[in-house]
């Protein structure tokens, strides 16, 4: 007969969970943290995030951002938040792989397409997807 839902290591899992909650709360509540917010509604159909790096007048987007975090709205009120450094790493990989496209308002911007699978995979190794 089961005496509860917790298993071995529950105390460790709880401690780790509380630490991660604190980490997220500090990101969300830190007033000095800048967040670049992008709405990417095409992402739900394509599986790619468009990360802008250039507009007609020169560098823009990820190439010039001062934000510490980027948040992509990929569904209504559903966000994917990443440290800017991670977004830059993913964008560089996409650029090296030739995933450069025109996009944004009236296709006036150049950017790269980053598959969400790369974000979820957590790897920058092209062999690991």
Tell me, yes or no, if the pTM score tops 0.85: no
pLDDT in single tens digits along all 129 residues of the chain: 445 555 555 566 777 777 778 777 776 777 677 889 998 889 989 999 999 999 999 999 999 999 999 999 988 888 899 999 999 999 999 999 999 999 988 999 999 999 999 998 876 665 555
In the block, tokens 């957590």 appear at: 122
């Amino acid at each position: 007969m089961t005496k509860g839902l917790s298993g071995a290591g529950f105390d460790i899992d709880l401690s780790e969970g509380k630490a991660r909650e604190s980490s997220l709360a500090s990101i969300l509540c830190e007033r000095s943290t800048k967040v670049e917010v992008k709405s990417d509604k095409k992402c739900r159909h394509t599986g790619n995030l468009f990360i802008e790096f250039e507009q007609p007048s020169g560098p823009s987007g990820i190439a010039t951002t001062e934000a510490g975090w980027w948040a992509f709205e990929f569904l209504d009120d559903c966000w994917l938040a990443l440290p800017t450094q991670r977004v830059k790493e993913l964008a560089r990989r996409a650029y090296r792989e030739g995933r450069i496209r025109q996009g944004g308002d009236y296709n006036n911007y150049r950017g790269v397409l980053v598959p969400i699978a790369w974000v979820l995979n957590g790897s920058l190794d092209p062999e690991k997807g």
